[in-house]
Amino acid sequence: MLELISPNFSDLLKPNLQLGKFPDGDSHVHLPPIPAGKQEITIFHRLYPHQNDSIVELLLILGSLVSDGHRVSVVVPYLPYARQDKKKMDGEVKSAEALCDLLHRAGCAKLITFDCHFLNAEGPAEYGGLAIENLSMGEALIEHAKKIFGLEPFEVIGPDGGAAYLVKNWGGKHLTKVRGEYDANSAHKQRHIESLTGDMGVKGKNVLILDDMISSGSTMARALEMAREQGAEKIGCAATHGLFLHNALDKLQKVADFVFSSDTIVSSRAEVSIKARLTDHLQGGAKLF
Ligand code: R5P
């Protein structure tokens, strides 16, 4: 298998392709020499934080390799647009499906990603015609929390139904979240949380709140406050994808004893690497390609 590594993966692997910009803003891609004949190629490319440019770069790379006859899979640790998987109003585009369809049509044989928002289980799936392998960081995040809690036991709680599969293997419960309509006065598309309910059963216990992502931090902040109100002792929170928009990190650090994420997105709180899980999948999963 041939690996093409984007510069935005340089924290984990040595880049071997070059990305740049023309003066007018067009993307420029320079691939390394590819051996003759049909190759099995895996592209490692982050699509966040500059999602729109990064998606175009990926489509250019895919287009070139596929038209040369290669079989190409892509590793995208965090899939942007994944939360736009439902139409909330007439005319709204289901962008998650549209993006997967685009990658499929561009010839992507498989998308390997982590804790993808619109999937509710680890493993192979198909969405928008695209074959996806959804890897989970649940176990690695919980192992990291064990080190922080030391020898003390702790409960694992998901803040909503989307996090159910992340917590269920650890006997964890999840809360029920109801979001309202889009906030009319918000410059950004944002839906406020109408309610977060559930009995955590955490009185006198340590708690880890675990979610697929922390974006504005509103969900996590509400869950942390609930845990405090319900009498929890030490409280930590973690997510696979730490976007930490605006003042999310400050907000969470005021309530939580600790906050961390995996490095699907690079940040100061990315304490758990995806590399071991990825390597394990790619090496153990030779038959999958
Ligand atoms: C949504 O259902 C996800 O599982 C997360 O709970 C959500 O996307 C987090 O967003 P925010 O940090 O903006 O509340």
Average pLDDT, the chain: 94
Domains of the chain by residue range: 2-136+274-282, 138-272
Q: Whose CA is nearest to atom 5 of ligand 1?
A: 213
Span 159-210, pLDDT tens digits: 998 888 999 888 888 989 898 777 666 656 677 888 899 889 999 999 999 9
pLDDT at 179: 83
Q: How far is the CA of 69 from the centre of ligand 1 (A)?
A: 39
State the residue for tokens 């409960």. 155
User: What is the arrangement of strands in the sheet containing 206-214, beginning at the earlier edge strand?
Assistant: 173-174, 154-158, 206-214, 235-242, 258-262, 270-272
Distances (CA, A) of 225 to 86, 159, 231, 232, 251: 28, 11, 10, 10, 11
Q: Is 115 in the pocket of ligand 1 (CB under 6 A)?
A: no
Who wins on pLDDT, 102 or 198? 102
Intrachain domains 2-136+274-282 and 138-272 with the same fold: yes
**What are residue 89's phi and psi, to 5 degrees?**
-155, 160
Q: Is 113 in the pocket of ligand 1 (CB under 6 A)?
A: no
Q: What angle do CA 73, 78, 84 make, to 5 degrees?
A: 105
Span 115-133, pLDDT tens digits: 999 999 999 999 999 999 9
pLDDT at 52: 98
In this structure, whether the domain defined by 2-136+274-282 belongs to CATH 3.30.1380.10 is answered with no
Pick the CATH number of 138-272 from 3.40.50.850, 3.40.50.2020, 3.90.1150.10, 3.40.50.1820: 3.40.50.2020
Query: In the structure, what pLDDT confidence band is assigned to residue 288 with cuts at 50, 70 and 90?
Result: very low
Span 203-251, pLDDT tens digits: 999 999 999 999 999 999 999 999 999 999 999 999 999 999 999 999 9
Q: How far is the CA of 67 from the centre of ligand 1 (A)?
A: 38
Q: Is 215 in the pocket of ligand 1 (CB under 6 A)?
A: yes
User: Is the distance from CB of 8 to CB of 27 less than 8 angstroms?
Assistant: no
Question: Which atom in ligand 1 lies closest to the alpha carbon of residue 214?
Answer: 12
Which run of H or of E encompasses 41?
A: strand 40-44
